[in-house]
Structure 1
Amino acid sequence: MPAKQFQPAPQQEALEWFSRLRQPGCDEGERQVFAAWCQVPQNAQAYAELETFWQQLQPAPARPQPRQLTARRSHLGKWLALVFLLVMGTLAYLYWPLMQRLGSEMHTDVGERRSLRLADGSTVHLDSASAMNVDLRGRTRQLHLVQGQVYLEVLLDGRAMEVDVGDARIQVFGTRLQIARFADHNELVVLSGKAMVVQGGEQRLVSAGERVTFDATRIDPVQKADMKTADSWRNGRLRATDMPLGQVLERLAGYQGQRLWMLDEQAAHRRVSGDFSLDRPAESLAALASTQQLQLQGVLDHWLIVR
């Protein structure tokens, strides 16, 4: 099946630009980025429609006599427009990951794990709330990790394989590897063979037993991987060895469909070790919070506030 590249809709990006351009801190650099974004006809049309909608919300020019009434209507229109923008932005923030998953060829729900056999004989193991698109028709097999985490068992058939992860591209030379997209970084773990992470003019070769993290701006140095715990999630366990507390909480919260919000940045970098159940994330979170003297507060089933 052809790979699909899912990006935020032009209407959502237009909404974000509309709000950003009206912020006091908006500088010339951001306006130049906005001008480049408008070069795409769909983007320009979406922004023009939003501007037209905004103009329609504005009150008619004030008449000489009822100044007080016109001023009140003007303020009411602006407040209604602001509430509308906030509601639309909040809904997009909350439900965009779900829409991404539902629009992908292969995906799992929150708390679900699934294994799928591809047409070339390779196997994809998807973690909770993960999504991937696959195109095996060409000389190079193309995979796109939309979100979440996957464990790949690649069947060598004489063709190359590449996995797109955001702006980075992973060239697969091995047979077993694990790729994950977290909130603030991506990670590649090679269990067998080799793989190359390429991003812009930078690249890193990762061999069996090694791991590397990367984001939209850089690729970190290659490190040795903990092979005993790397794929423990496939058995419903999160085995942490000297792992940042914030990362452990993020994984557990994600298994119950929540986004993590830590109020104590120092606590997020605290190193912890342990064996946690991913199939019972609420119990694991409660036990971890107790040992680390943290307080957990769920908000609307979408956020988990930790303090």
Structure 2
Amino acid sequence: MPAKQFQPDPQQEALEWFSLLRQPGCDEAQRQAFAAWCQVPHNAQAYAELETFWQQLQPAPARPRPQQISVRRSQVSKWLALAFLLGVGAAAYLYWPLMQRLASELHTAVGERRSTRLADGTTLNLDSASAMNVDLRGRTRQLHLVQGQVYIEVMLDGRAMEVDVGNARIQVFGTRLQVARHAGHDELVVLSGKAMVIQGGEQRMVSTGERVTFDDTRIAPVQKADLQTADSWRTGRLEATDMPLGQVLERLAGYQGQRLWMMDAQVAHRRVSGDFDLDRPAASLESLAAAQHLQLQGVLGHWLVVR
């Protein structure tokens, strides 16, 4: 069940309707449900704003070129075309994670935590802004972590289970594990049993109480994990013990829908410890910044710049 109740977000629901209505399988019942949803003025306004934004991103229809075009007008057109492409690229970069989540079978909103029980009895605990796809039909149960973090309580039913994370594949031999996708790497923590990370010709076996990080090119050595704090996020806390400052800031910024931009890369490697409230990320960020003598600045609601 969700850790806390959220008020309906017209902008978030508008994005979900926008995605659903453009899918081939959208039927008349769903369109009628959309029409009923639009009866609420706030909902209708949010969808209208989204449609306007989408139309602004569409290229203008081509027009016949005049026989003679001045050099000045040609240069202006090139600059306008470049500005348009930059705008489209920026919008795609900012909203691509959200579109990925909405296109996934299971997903959570920013700041939301959710527990889902699958048909085979396995329980998935999704962290904020996380997304997964699930396929339980074959002899090997397939999970795909698209974004965020998941705590998995596996129900053993005689079939194997694998978790795809980027270019890596995790073979599950235990009952409790946690998989996370961070900005620069992915991570596996085994709380009970064993799991093997496989990527290319490299592999690592991870046992109870151990963790390993990996990226698109390599798997790091296996390390001991702090099991008392590894899954503290499920209760709304981030219990950091000698954790890199950049990773703490990234988690807190992510809980309010922002990406982290560290102006000084050396600062990100500082080690910090503390207990941070994930349900009040802004207050936690302000407290941490004051303690570390940092300056925080939000940019366009999507970035958190740390100086």
TM-score per shorter chain, which class?
A: 0.7 to 0.9
Structural RMSD (CA): 1.6
The equivalences for 1:47-58 within 5 A come to none
CA offsets per residue over residues 181-235 of structure 1, 9 Å max, x none? 0111000000000000000111000000000000001000000001111000001
The equivalences for 1:1-307 within 5 A come to 70-307=70-307
CA offsets per residue over residues 120-169 of structure 1, 9 Å max, x none? 00100000000001000100000000100000000100000000001100
Query: Residues 76 and 132 (structure 1 numbering): CA distance in 2 closer, same or farther, change over 3 Å?
Result: same
**Which amino acid in 2 is paired with 1:125?**
N
Q: Return the alpha-carbon distance in structure 1 between the equivalents of residues 63 and 72 of structure 2.
A: 14
> Structure 1 vs Structure 2: percent identity of aligned residues?
78
Residue 57 of structure 1 and its aligned partner are, at CA, apart by 9.2
CA offsets per residue over residues 10-49 of structure 1, 9 Å max, x none? xxxxxxxxxxxxxxxxxxxxxxxxxxxxxxxxxxxxxxxx
Residue 77 of structure 1 and its aligned partner are, at CA, apart by 1.2
Q: Return the alpha-carbon distance in structure 2 between the equivalents of residues 177 and 189 of structure 1.
A: 6
Give the secondary-structure state (helix, strand or coil) at the position aligned to 2:230.
coil
Residue 59 of structure 1 and its aligned partner are, at CA, apart by 6.7
Q: Return the alpha-carbon distance in structure 1 between the equivalents of residues 65 and 272 of structure 2.
A: 57
* TM-score, normalization by structure 1: 0.78
Q: In the alignment, which residue of structure 2 is the partner of 1:29?
A: none
* TM-score, normalization by structure 2: 0.78
Q: Return the alpha-carbon distance in structure 2 between the equivalents of residues 184 and 303 of structure 1.
A: 17
**Which amino acid in 1 is paired with 2:89?**
G
Q: In the alignment, which residue of structure 1 is the partner of 2:11?
A: none
Q: In the alignment, which residue of structure 2 is the partner of 1:41?
A: none
Q: Return the alpha-carbon distance in structure 2 between the equivalents of residues 76 and 201 of structure 1.
A: 52
Give the secondary-structure state (helix, strand or coil) at the position aligned to 2:301.
coil
Q: Return the alpha-carbon distance in structure 1 between the equivalents of residues 277 and 95 of structure 2.
A: 26
Residue 91 of structure 1 and its aligned partner are, at CA, apart by 0.6
Q: Return the alpha-carbon distance in structure 1 between the equivalents of residues 71 and 206 of structure 2.
A: 64
Q: In the alignment, which residue of structure 2 is the partner of 1:24?
A: none
